[in-house]
Structure 1
Amino acid sequence: MRTYDFAPLWRSTIGFDRLFDLLDETQRATEDNYPPYNIERLGEDRYQISLALAGFNPDEIAITAEQNVLTVEGRKADKEQHEYLYQGISARPFKRQFNLADYVQVKGASFDNGLLRVELFREIPEAMKPRRIPIGDGVAPEKIEQKRAA
């Protein structure tokens, strides 16, 4: 796998710290593929993450949204000792993190038939949405104020 040196970009850019941190973190990530998951786009500003959590109960799963990171953790409560001849359903503890874009919020979560679904939506504040700027008639703003005062 290739590794990239982002040092030249750090020297010539301002305000892209989070982007470079995400890229750097992605390069260093050596996480396993447990639990398997899907990320779906349901609409222009709607998303859904589905995690396959066979063998877990809803009370053994914790979902935390903090800043721009969604964390899903699971820990199986060992109440009984079983003697397995073969154990194909994994019940090991896990911690899966998802980096969220700005203004992406967690709408809700549901657990059905071993599938955890986390619904996300992007809600851009009114102040950040594009707005139309009126074009004046070429009169300087100071002259307009002077005309109104007279």
Structure 2
Amino acid sequence: MSYRVCVVCLGNICRSPMAEVVLRKTLGDHGLGDLVSVDSAGTGGWHQGHPMDERASATLAEHGYDGSAHRARRFLPAWFDEVDLVLAMDTENLRALRRLAPAGADVRLMRSFDPAAPQDAEVPDPFYGDREDFAEVLEMVKAASEGLAKHLAATLR
């Protein structure tokens, strides 16, 4: 059986695909690659089918990650039946997801798994920013991914 995680932002072209790629590698590094599957989506659908934002992909590549296979998708309410944990990048998307979620669905902020971050910390949208904003997002996602991997290692083993 596989534990399923879906990372969600607004358009699924910057933050959530970066988090998907980083989390998948981090889980593999922790020996959880066969136990946990990771994907991503957006609460909005206007970028469906598009590749990752070039700046997000370049930031990942500069740090040894490959985001070239990503294609944006919209999160569908039916996915709650298939996903064990939904991670929102910010409180706006968290609220949107919780409005769609059935009772008992596990929907949290991504950075809630970063032990150095406040529980309500968000991953800011870098879309209107520059390279530094994308690099900052990567660091936030890496820290949260490490925390989640440690949590899942303790939970699933």
Give the structure with higher Rg (CA): 1
Instruction: Identify the structure with the greater helix proportion.
Output: 2
Fold match (TM-score > 0.5): no
What TM-score, normalized by structure 2, do the two folds share? Answer: 0.21
Instruction: Identify the structure with the greater strand proportion.
Output: 1
